[in-house]
Amino acid sequence: MPQNYSFFITMPKFLYFCATNTLYIIVKLTFLGTGTSLGVPIVGCPCSVCASTDVRDKRMRSSAMIEVDGKNIVIDTGPDFRTQLLNNHISRVDAILITHQHRDHLAGLDDIRTFNYMQRCAMPVYANYITVDSIKRDYYYCFGEPRYPGVPDIELHNVGDDPFDVLGLTVTPINVMHYKLPVLGFRIKDFTYITDASHIEECELDKIRGTKILVINALRKTSHLSHFSLPEALEVIKKVKPQNAYITHIGHEMGFHAETDASLHKGVHLAYDGLSIEF
């Protein structure tokens, strides 16, 4: 143990160090899914990437979970959400952040019912006003009266431009554009998550700077109307200068994980389903 540390306590999934009256909390990030809207492999696709036997080339729809301060916060609940929870042995979710209303990021929201039962409370869900309206429309049966027994219990929070509180954690919303659709990225402590972006204004980049871990989308190596390409994502990473960056929302056109990841410069990585990091 370093001499400066007076003691340490080990708890499940977290490490706490006390040094000169400072408490250091390790955040754990788990990539539940790293694929695009069609996933990888794509149904019926005969390409070599979709046929790959490398588990890192098997990508469910994009989602992530961070564990910090004893809380589990999920970002996006796509159509693979139930399988992702089972694959990663997740037995508790304390809050959910939704980036936008597209089905590959929202279609699994009904599966929060289990947590309603086990945790005996409504699930706090945070999203911008467009997505809040979409949730109320698509999951109308959760908000009607009288309530049908067993429907998901959703506590909706409309996110604006200002930082907001999630169970005692400060979350800073990052406004990005997915072609013409506003999408939210999120910064929590030294971690920032951005998906489905094709443009980020300079003022929003300023909110990201200082981030240690940046997760950002890149669909493929060539340009796309509504998503960053790999070169475009690398330009954002160059501007932000995180300690480490992870690419997510990846399509089969990106190529094999092993080859593409090996081609990236130090500190930049292709994420893959099930990858966990601590920082």
pLDDT digits (tens, 9 = 90+) for 79-101: 999 999 999 999 999 999 999 99
Domain that holds residue 188: 7-278
CA distances from 255 to 12, 230, 252 (A): 36, 11, 6
pTM summary value: 0.91
Is residue 18 in a domain? yes
Structural domain count, the chain: 1
- For 187-212, write each residue's pLDDT tens digit: 999 999 999 999 999 999 999 999 99
24, two tokens: 């250091």
CATH of the domain at 268: 3.60.15.10
Burial of residue 125 (number of CB atoms within 10 Å: 0-12, 13-18, 19+): buried
- For 22-46, write each residue's pLDDT tens digit: 455 689 999 999 999 999 999 999 9
Is residue 2 in a domain? no
**Lowest pLDDT segment from 7-11, 46-50, 265-269:** 7-11
pLDDT at 15 over 50: no
Output the pLDDT for position 24: 58
Is residue 231 in a domain? yes
Average the pLDDT over 101-120 and give the result.
97
Is residue 1 in a domain? no
* CB of 141 closer than 8 Å to CB of 111: no
Q: Report the distance separating Cα 45 and Cα 146, nearest Å.
A: 46
* CB of 215 closer than 8 Å to CB of 246: yes
- For 153-169, write each residue's pLDDT tens digit: 999 999 999 999 999 99
* CB of 141 closer than 8 Å to CB of 112: no
- For 211-238, write each residue's pLDDT tens digit: 999 999 999 999 999 999 999 999 999 9
Is residue 26 in a domain? yes
